[in-house]
Amino acid sequence: MSRIGKKAIVIPKEVSVIFENREITIKGKHGSLKRIISQNVNLILNEGKIIITRLNDEKKSRESHGLNRALIQNMITGVENKFSKTLVAEGVGYRFQVDKNKVILNVGFTNPVEFEIPQDIGIKLESNTKLQLTGIDKEKVGFFAAKIRDTKPPEPYKGKGILYEGEKILRKAGKTGK
């Protein structure tokens, strides 16, 4: 039995959950999210809790048991209090800019790199080297942060690049001269 899948999900008072036709809709103070649940699991709603059970013991059912529980838990957490990721630009001249619906990165290339900001992600520029992304969908926030980070990932010799706040870069020793 999946250790994650068999845990009950507690529904907070300000969050409402609707489940019909294999589609779960979760509404909270920050918005609403929808997701289609796998055919291999079943949802039971009772007294402010969600319990996820498997329909059978096949491999696909076991795989999707814990996954669906984690996805639903992330949906509830997202609509109750948003997810956030903070990116930091390390390096001389590396900086972020926000212009209407674009994020502009100056990270050592000849031209600045621009990204369109998705509709459901909020961006806050804390300083010109610190960017905070927020949203109710953990998957979208993490994906957009990873896309920005991939333009210039941190390198191990000087530590320059775009990294997550609190991320430690394993530094390598450079060449030794004679």
CATH fold for domain 83-164: Outer Surface Protein A; domain 3 (3.90.930)
All structural domains of the chain with their residue ranges = 9-80, 83-164
pLDDT number for residue 33: 94
Structure tokens at 104: 């502009």
pLDDT score for 178: 64
Q: Matching CATH topology for 9-80 and 83-164?
A: yes
Weakly modelled stretches of the chain, pLDDT under 70? 1-2, 177-178
CATH class of 9-80: alpha beta
Which pLDDT value is given to residue 1? 55
Span 139-170, pLDDT tens digits? 999 999 999 999 999 999 988 999 999 999 89
The SS3 call for residue 77 is: helix
The predicted pLDDT at position 3 comes to: 82
Residue whose C-alpha is closest to residue 39's, from 21, 51, 19: 21
CB contact at 8 A, 150 and 72: no
Question: What is the distance in angstroms between the CA of the first residue and the CA of the last residue of the chain?
Answer: 61
Which amino acid, one-letter code, is at 10?
A: V
Long-range CB contacts for residues 140-146, cutoff 8 Å, separation at least 24: 141/83, 141/84, 141/85, 142/83, 142/85, 144/115, 144/118, 145/85, 145/87
